[in-house]
Structure 1
């Protein structure tokens, strides 16, 4: 497999500064989170500035409350994302090396863990401020896709989370011994750019759909409806991409070359699919319930 697109020569570091004998670097991955969260915050502010979009033509929170929510979400993403990676993907390693759990600079974040962290943050803020949880969930769902899109692009720049080997013309020849370790492949190994698939599906396409539903189809007037679409849309996109995404190394073995986390006789689900399937089920159920309900709901 020698055909494929050479990986672009993009440094994962935007700028590096030497101070007092130490090196401080700003990386694309960190910038993706920063810019994505800021874009999400702007979307949230735009939405609460339009009372007509909400039940009773009343915005669910003030701009100041949006900023408080943003702070809580940042903490939820960081703490939840890290703990999710530790518990879902490498529990054995971190049980033996617990002091490495807070070492975020070594890498290792899980979307589903960050997602649970955001849920906890939203619940705490809504309860403390006496806000309607269904409205806040809709607002967060609207604001999330920009960060997802940019972080997936950063994953591509970092040459990480690549896909399985492919002979399709848009396969990318990722650098590094791990990416080029393709059993049975002669020559350079091209892989699915699964990071870009996820950026397009989970970030761009889902984000445009949520914007249309929120600003043109009045879905913010039904509590939980937009959040349900985010759950189902992200879960479905991630479930599909998992078919071409390279599984985490700890799940791959001689009797499990596909890297299934849950399987019987070689048939099963990857960890990403196992975590995404409940999102699809819950999302569809939430949408159906919200569509049957009315804006009078107090949830």
Structure 2
């Protein structure tokens, strides 16, 4: 009986050892085949984390670091202004002087780079310092021409009897160009810096419509074309004063980059040092007026940061 028990125990130990060996063999086979479920789950977690770090390309004219450039053309309008002239032998003012802009006749001049300063043009360079907020460097090349066929009120003194005699009953007829021609035609240059806020109105696959509004301030750097009392014509660039403005625009962006821009602007210009003679005499004029401007053109917007 004791012998039978010993044999039974030996047989059971053998069976359990074989089962354990088979399990170890199976595990070793799966390990050797690279099938480890726990490690596969870790790879999936890492893949999900990688996708979460991807950045989508932002909407145009919306994110910090974006840049845009723009070139276009304008029409302008000006309020009446009082122009005060001072110099050797005269100190007088012409009241409520009317003026207009001077658009170039449409033609190849509008797209020929060698003639771009002939037209009433606008340039913009914008950089987004914050999301939806851009600082914009602008050049507004307007043109201002005094209407020659007008009679205006006169106050002050002129020592030269020839030109003093052209004043009748406190008025002077400017149709006689011998008394005065007065233009800022190359031009009424407003070099300005502005802040503009942007808001996306429409976002489609290939089209975005973006509205902006803002304000600007800058210097007036006209090249005035003035001839007073038959003196040699003054025609040179000069810092003559300052200007400020409010502006708003609609920007249609195609394929994330190309832009068509339409802008309206209203502002105030004060020029207290307008050169009226070609030499360095103390002759000068001063004037201030309100202006309005509408403009349109094309541009390009892009990101300075890379996005996946």
- Which TM bucket (shorter chain)? under 0.3
TM-score by length of 2: 0.20
1 or 2, which has the higher strand percentage? 2
TM-score by length of 1: 0.20
| Larger Rg computed on CA atoms | 2
1 or 2, which has the higher helix percentage? 1
